[in-house]
Amino acid sequence: MITAPVVSAESAQAFRQKNGLQAYVPPEWFLKGYFIACEKNPGYVFGPVQDFVGALGGTTTWLIEDMEIERLKTASADGKKIEYSLFLEAVLQDRTEYWVFVVLPYESAQAWYDAKRAYHGRKAEKYYGKTQSELDRALSQGFNINAELRFWIESSETSLQTPENVIMSKYKFQPVFDLGTGRRLSPAAKTE
């Protein structure tokens, strides 16, 4: 008889192989940093990342695509810091979930916005202009936003739900800062 945790672990191995993923140890500044969980018009800042990992339960592993490792090596050799994607795999009793983060190496909201503008061109102001000023307020209050939780995968399917809503409702992981009001929220989510 195959139990749910065994099936879940086997599906995790298949997902890793299919997507060229391998275990990775993220930098400490990323794990201790904060994150947004909605690409366009995020409402909140969450974190730190390591607290979110603890809130998931199960067995967690950070993964990176083999191609991303090559990009990182090249950028590092050139002395550049780049955005890159990491998968947080959570093997739970009855399923395996993946949370895809984009690591943001920017020192300021302006640098973040400049990267968005370089990629999105003229659309950047419409999509991200308001968020830039909101992130500036969060940074001024000590919330270094080092990641964006881009999407969530369950049963090998990318969810259409916004991660911001999922982590608050399904995992009761509460934000630490409200971008709309520019205020700290209390109590912040903590894990042991």
Tokens representing 30 are 């990323």
Domain extent listing, the chain: 4-184
* Measured distance CA(104)–CA(93) in Å, rounded: 31
Residues 6+ apart with CB under 8 A from 146: 29, 30, 33, 34, 35, 49, 103, 104, 105
Quote the pLDDT of residue 9.
52
Mean pLDDT, consecutive 10-residue stretches, the chain (192 aa), reads 42 89 95 91 93 93 94 90 93 91 83 72 68 84 91 87 92 93 73 38
Quote the pLDDT of residue 153.
92
Q: Are 152 and 96 in contact (CB under 8 A)?
A: no
Quote the pLDDT of residue 40.
80
Quote the pLDDT of residue 5.
40
Amino acid occupying residue 155: S
Q: Are 147 and 140 in contact (CB under 8 A)?
A: no
Quote the pLDDT of residue 139.
87
Quote the pLDDT of residue 63.
97
Quote the pLDDT of residue 80.
87
Within 13 A of 78's CA, how many CA atoms are on the CB side?
9
